[in-house]
Amino acid sequence: MKKLPKPRMPWPILCMIIGIIAPIEFSPILGTLTLMPHRCAILIFIIPALIKVFSGKDIKWAHYDVLFVLYGCWVLFSFMMHLEMNAGLATGGSLMLECLGGYIIARAYIRSYDDFMATLNGLFYSICFVGLLALPEAVSGFHYVHIWLRGIGTVAVAANDEVRWGLHRSYATFNHPILYGAYCASLLSMIWFTETRPGTRLGKAVSLCVATFFGLSSAPLNTLVMQSLLGGIHRGTKRFPNRVKIFGIFLLIVYILLALFSDKSPIAQIVTRISIDPETAYYRTLIWGFGMDNVWANPWLGLGLDPWVRPAWMPSDSVDAYWLNVAMQMGLPAIILLIAAIWTLIARVHRRGPGQRPHQEQRAAIGWTLSFIAFTLAGMTVHYWNSTHTYLFFLLGMSGWLADPAPAKVAVKAKAGAKAKTARRLAPARPDWTHPPHPDLPLPEPAYVGHYVGALDPLAT
């Protein structure tokens, strides 16, 4: 049997993956703009992607696409209101380019199951690559990638040496160990649900876990645990109707009980119990508490780049929570638009059930959803910035073919399924030759007899 060729990854997707994992030292400066590798990839392919999206031949724009565009426009608008015209365009435009660029390019060029699997394989091999770079770094503590590239450009990463569990936290090609770990941990469910060969599936899962471990960050490790738990819950409850609603109600009840019977907030209790470093976990609970005070004080446009109000004994101005940072910098409309877009996209991905699309596509939808939910929850204690910010929206765009399948391919599959169903209905019943017919009953038609007797006779021609 002739082996089918493996699906090829579209060139824009390959360039996006290279741009996401490329070191920030490869960033030319153009005026006041820092053209990081992932931004260069977006600038190259965003126009062809927009032409492909708006051509209307293969992609049908939906309300979640509109919500993502509105979110990007609000990002630009909010920073233009906070800063001067040029500075607002530079800052807001860069963030808008990162989010919409990653989403639209993935939305435009990942349009089938083959494209999705090729992209997933490319992401997996990129994780293996950065994981190999992280291994000697974790053992030696020498951050050689950023140290060797420090003199190339004007942008450099200040890599600090931090030891946990007897190993050094690895940066690989990323700006921070937690970003490296978040990138490596993001694909576990997608790999597990789409890989059909058990040995290969286990090998890839172990590779992702080992690569994630070298970052020695609690949030990425918890991302792996969360995906495993969600996968187990899916397997154990897939025969229950309305399981998503039941699970959501259960989580709500747990949240209410934690809020009522404890002197700490539910988020503080969860964060302190799942973090490797208790001091870091406690500091992040403080960030959430005082950060929300800033959100309520500036609900519409946020703070922009202004420093956020906090006690003097909190010297660091970093906000280690992506979702909180969006609300703090750009206001409640930004986070509402973003959550609405994501929620609507996930609902559209699962609009078609198991009997309405091929089994492999259904498993891809489940794997993508579980991976993204875990990546989203990790964003409560991780701030995704630079290439990881683009990667977040790239993951969202990867599901566009599930939410909006190509019309021609859907029609072909439906037509093929209808033909197969008709053929099965019209096909004559096959005689049962496992038992000899009763002597009082008539034999089948000669054509059938000759056909099946010939098939059973090894000497028949």
- The DSSP secondary structure of 210-244, one letter per residue, reads HHHHTT--HHHHHHHHHHHHHHHHHHHHTTSTTHH
Asked if pLDDT for residue 414 goes beyond 50, the answer is: no
Q: pLDDT value at position 256?
A: 87
All residues at 6 or more sequence positions from 333 whose CB lies less than 8 Å from its CB, including other chains: 74, 300
- The pLDDT tens digits of the residues spanning 124-143 come to 999 999 999 999 999 998 99
Tokens encoding 46: 């965003």
Q: Exposed/middle/buried for 165, CB within 10 Å: 0-12, 13-18, 19+?
A: exposed
CA terminus-to-terminus distance, the chain: 24
pLDDT value, residue 452: 38
Three-state secondary structure call for residue 30: strand
How high is the pLDDT of residue 284?
86
Distance separating alpha carbons of residues 39 and 66, to the nearest angstrom: 22
- How far apart (Å, rounded) are the C-alpha atoms in residues 183 and 127? 8
Question: In DSSP terms, which residues pair with 30 in a beta bridge?
Answer: 33
Token code pair at residue 127: 């994780």
Q: Quick one: which H or E segment has residue 29? A: strand 29-30
Does residue 263 register a pLDDT over 70? yes
Nearest in space to 53 (alpha carbons), one of 401, 408, 351, 410: 401
Task: Locate 216 and state its tokens.
Answer: 């020695």
243-252, 335-344, 434-443, 447-456: least confidently modelled range: 447-456
The per-residue pLDDT for 437 is 54
Beta-strand pair 33-34/29-30: antiparallel
Confidence of residue 161 (pLDDT cuts 50, 70, 90): confident
The mean per-residue pLDDT over the stretch 325-349 comes to 96
Residue 235, token pair as written in the block? 């397997």
This prediction has a pTM of: 0.85
Local structure of 351: helix, strand or coil: coil
- The yes-or-no verdict on residue 173 having pLDDT over 90 is yes
pLDDT at 406 over 60: yes
- Tell which wins on pLDDT, 233 or 426: 233
Residues 6+ apart with CB under 8 A from 227: 185, 188, 189, 192, 370, 371, 374
Place of tokens 């800063």: 83
Rounded to an integer, what distance in angstroms lies between the CA atom of residue 423 and that of residue 68?
45
The C-alpha atoms of residue 106 and residue 6 are separated, in whole angstroms, by 20
- Burial class from Cβ neighbours inside 10 Å (0-12, 13-18, 19+) for residue 219 reads buried
Classify the phi-psi angles of 31: left when phi > 0, otherwise alpha if psi is within -120 to 50, otherwise beta: left
Confidence of residue 331 (pLDDT cuts 50, 70, 90): very high
Model confidence at 432: pLDDT above 80: no
CB 180 within 8 A of CB 215: yes
Listed ranges 236-245, 262-271, 381-390; the one with the highest mean pLDDT: 381-390
Residue bearing tokens 């989403």? 103
**Helix 243-260 × helix 218-237 angle, to 10°:** 130
Q: What is the mean pLDDT of the chain?
A: 85
